[in-house]
Amino acid sequence: NAGVTQTPKFQVLKTGQSMTLQCAQDMNHEYMSWYRQDPGMGLRLIHYSVGAGITDQGEVPNGYNVSRSTTEDFPLRLLSAAPSQTSVYFCASSYSLDTQNTEAFFGQGTRLTVV
C-alpha cells in the first residue's frame, strides 16, 4: 500500500525561487491537506481540500497556492520562496469529514530550506 506519497523528501531553494511540492494518495480519499511543522508550534494547516475542484485556506496560507484537479493529487506551490518558509511540510489525507472516519494518513514529509 503506497498511502500518501510526497516528493521531494529534501529541497534547498534560494530566496525568490518557485517550486511545487507534490502529494499523491491512492486511497480514494476526499479530504486532503497540507501542514507545516515548525519547532514548538506543532503542525499548522496551510490549505485543505474537501474534493476535486474545491480548496480552502487554513491557518497560514500566505505565500502558498494549491489546486485539486484530481482526487489523487494535491500539489502545494511556493510562488516566491522566503526564508520564513523553511520548514518541514506534511501532506495528509482522510476518507471524509465525518468525525467517525477522520483518521488522517500522513506522507513522510518534505524538508525545505530557503537560503
Partner 1 sequence: GNSVTQMEGPVTLSEEAFLTINCTYTATGYPSLFWYVQYPGEGLQLLLKATKADDKGSNKGFEATYRKETTSFHLEKGSVQVSDSAVYFCALFSGGYNKLIFGAGTRLAVHP
C-alpha cell at 88: 518541514
Residue of 13, 25, 32, 35 interacting with partner 1 (CB under 8 A): 35
CB of 109 vs partner 1, minimal distance in Å = 6
Which of the residues 47 through 106 are near partner 1 (CB under 8 A)?
48, 50, 56, 58, 90, 92, 94, 97-100, 102-106
Cα 33 to the center of its chain, rounded Å: 5
Interface residue list for partner 1 (CB under 8 A):
4, 33, 35, 40-45, 48, 50, 56, 58, 90, 92, 94, 97-100, 102-109
